[in-house]
Amino acid sequence: MEASIIFLVAFIIIEAYSLLKTLLNSYLASSMGILAIVLGLLGAYGLSKRNKIGGYFALISVILGVSANCQYTIKLSFKEIFKNYPMLASSVSLFILGALVMISIFKIRLDYWTGQQLEKLDAKDPSSEEYAIETENVIKKYIVGSNVITAVNGISLKVKKGEFVSIMGPSGSGKSTLLNLIGALDRPTSGRVLIDGVDISKLDDKELARLRNRKIGFVFQSYNLIARSTVKRNMELPALVSGLSKKERLKRIRELLDAVGLSGKMDRKPKTLSGGEQQRVAIARALINNPEIVLADEPTGNVDSKTGRTIMNFFRKLNRERGTTMLIVTHDPEIAHMTDRIIYIRDGRIFKEERME
Ligand SMILES: Nc1ncnc2c1ncn2[C@@H]1O[C@H](COP(=O)(O)OP(=O)(O)O)[C@@H](O)[C@H]1O
Ligand SMILES: [Mg+2]
């Protein structure tokens, strides 16, 4: 935004200068020049007020200015132009500045457009819902050769907005499968999953992608970090998709790495970090777009119990301060007891629930 105004003002000044030099040389060129300056000033004012019409004024001004200048330059013979260095310089700078104004305005339009698309999708989400997550008799079967494995066998649960819930169960009990279904990473064999009251099986691919990118922060059990990329790049990707500006991205990455105790490790590759550190990068990455819901699959599985408590305290803080809904899978009773409610699952079914004081 600021760049386009600076380019435009420089453009106006040079346009005014070349106009003075050529004034009354050509009636058409001078009137176009004056019009370009007036529109340019209106455009600069509009842009500074973040007004969409300002952008159009600026564009018309630049096109007028450049074409008036073109017309003038073509009229003169080469000899005359080279005799007159200041005019040549101002013509060239007008072309360059004109191009810069156009590029920066198109960039603004693009940002504006993507922002609008996202707002449209946001408007679709009924945020008055009481429950952030609901599953209705969800079943997930895997077919392996001639065997059918029922990983999730009819789970119905509800998680209120702003609740901090854990899912406990032995290895192989279906915790990861359930979390993947809730996170729209997989589709149930039968049953429904609702996020903010919206049945996610009814969403198209674009809406699903947006849901995963913006509304849900998913911490994978296996981290899912890109090995070739740095920590910064790994964290940047989901923010790029959601359209966060470069400045905001860097600020968020720094804040989050600080929060998980990894400041200064931004340029490291995942394989140069310990398992626990990679886990914390995965946690920080899940939070980059300020999700309303965090789904975390054994987020403390590879850290010592002290770091585990630090991570849980960080989640709790997020939950208190931002009202983020938290659903955490763990097999560690100490971790589970730091949440509001524990859902125990075994063989793909809920067999007990416990509410903390
Ligand atoms: N992609 C898959 N294909 C076949 N079987 C799977 C797949 N994913 C999980 N399972 C099986 O489903 C059951 C539940 O797995 P999982 O959800 O990973 O359990 P947990 O996370 O509680 O350890 C296990 O028996 C596992 O072997
Ligand atoms: Mg698992």
Name the CA dihedral angle for 346, 348, 352, 355, rounded to a multiple of 10 degrees.
110
Which of 124, 145, 162 corresponds to the end of one domain?
A: 124
Same structural domain for residues 211 and 97?
A: no
Q: Is the CB of 144 inside a 6 Å radius of any atom of ligand 1?
A: yes
Same structural domain for residues 165 and 266?
A: yes
Q: How many CB atoms lie within 10 A of CB 144?
A: 7
Same structural domain for residues 219 and 348?
A: yes
Same structural domain for residues 194 and 57?
A: no
Ligand 2 (single-atom ion) residues, CB below 5 Å: 176
Same structural domain for residues 27 and 48?
A: yes
Amino acid identity of 73?
Answer: T
Amino acid identity of 159?
Answer: V
Which of ligand 1's atoms lies nearest the C-alpha of 169? Answer: 22
Separation of CA 326 and ligand 2 centre (Å):
17
Domain extent, residue 37, equals: 2-124
- Alpha-carbon gap, residue 138 to 201, rounded angstroms: 12
Q: Give tens-digit pLDDT for 201-221.
A: 988 888 898 899 889 999 998
- Torsion sign across C-alpha atoms 114, 287, 224, 325: negative
Same structural domain for residues 223 and 324?
A: yes
Q: Is the CB of 301 inside a 6 Å radius of any atom of ligand 1?
A: no
CATH number of the domain where residue 156 is located? 3.40.50.300
Separation of CA 166 and ligand 2 centre (Å):
13
Please name the residue whose Cα sits nearest to atom 16 of ligand 1: 174
- Residue 215: the pLDDT is 93
Radius of gyration for the alpha carbons in the chain, expressed in angstroms and rounded: 29
Q: Is the CB of 149 inside a 6 Å radius of any atom of ligand 1?
A: yes
Which of ligand 1's atoms lies nearest the C-alpha of 297? Answer: 21
Same structural domain for residues 64 and 206?
A: no
Same structural domain for residues 160 and 120?
A: no
- Residue 290: the pLDDT is 92
Which of 104, 124, 144 corresponds to the end of one domain?
A: 124
Number of domain units in the chain: 2
**Integer CA distances (angstroms), 282 to 34, 185, 221, 238, in order:** 57, 16, 9, 12
Which of 124, 156, 183 corresponds to the end of one domain?
A: 124
Classify 50 as helix, strand or coil. coil
Same structural domain for residues 338 and 301?
A: yes
- Residue 357: the pLDDT is 76
Give the chain's residues under pLDDT 70: 1, 22-26, 29, 50, 52, 71-72, 75-88, 108-128
Same structural domain for residues 172 and 53?
A: no
Same structural domain for residues 162 and 110?
A: no
Same structural domain for residues 87 and 148?
A: no
